[in-house]
Amino acid sequence: MTQDNFEGLRDQVENFVKDLIDRSSLDLKVDVTEPEPDAIEVSFQGFDLPLLLGHHAELLDALQYIARRAFAKAVAEGIQIDFDANGYRDARREELALMAQKAAERVKTSKVPFVFDPMSAQDRRAIHTALVDIEGIKTESEGDGQMRRVKVLAA
């Protein structure tokens, strides 16, 4: 994708999300940035931030899903479209990394596999990434659809 095409896509994503927020009547301000090549990040600020982040950020995830589906062709070509609010994603990755470390310690000691509750693909990826370099530990995903979960095992 050329830089001009990417900038056009960024503008389309920004307009799409602003229109979505306007139609939803949520009191949110939208900021669209390019944190790295082939990546678009949509950040939110505003009065309705608690609604966006409630219940493990289900609404934030839902909006991200809608945008990724709307721009599925670009996503299939390798463009990453991520939504965040108030640094939630970084805080969640840190929380998941700590949970993964604790699970790995438990598995190393007990040799009994640890299975996380079902979680989103993004959260599962964070668990796998946090444990990829831990010697004596491996991870795998199991289950289908919304019931997919990460299992931590002794290697």
Domain ranges of the chain: 3-86, 90-154
Q: Do domains 3-86 and 90-154 have the same CATH topology?
A: no
Query: Residue 3: is it exposed, middle or buried by C-beta count within 10 angstroms (0-12/13-18/19+)?
Result: exposed
The yes-or-no verdict on residue 146 having pLDDT over 90 is no
Say which CATH class 90-154 falls into.
alpha beta
Each residue's pLDDT tens digit, 115-142: 999 998 889 999 999 999 999 999 999 9
**Chain center to CA of 17:** 17
The yes-or-no verdict on residue 105 having pLDDT over 90 is yes
pTM of the model: 0.80
Query: Residue 70: is it exposed, middle or buried by C-beta count within 10 angstroms (0-12/13-18/19+)?
Result: middle
The strand pair at 80-85 and 39-45 is best described as parallel
User: Contact 103/130 with Cβ under 8 angstroms?
Assistant: no
Each residue's pLDDT tens digit, 45-95: 999 999 999 988 999 999 999 999 999 999 999 999 999 999 999 999 999
Whole-number pLDDT of residue 4: 66
Mean pLDDT of 147-152: 96
For residue 147, the 8-state DSSP code is G
Please give the CATH topology (third level) of the domain spanning 3-86.
GMP Synthetase; Chain A, domain 3 (3.30.300)
Supply the angle between the helices 121-131 and 88-110 in degrees, to the nearest 10: 50
pLDDT level of residue 6 (50, 70, 90 thresholds): confident
The yes-or-no verdict on residue 36 having pLDDT over 70 is yes
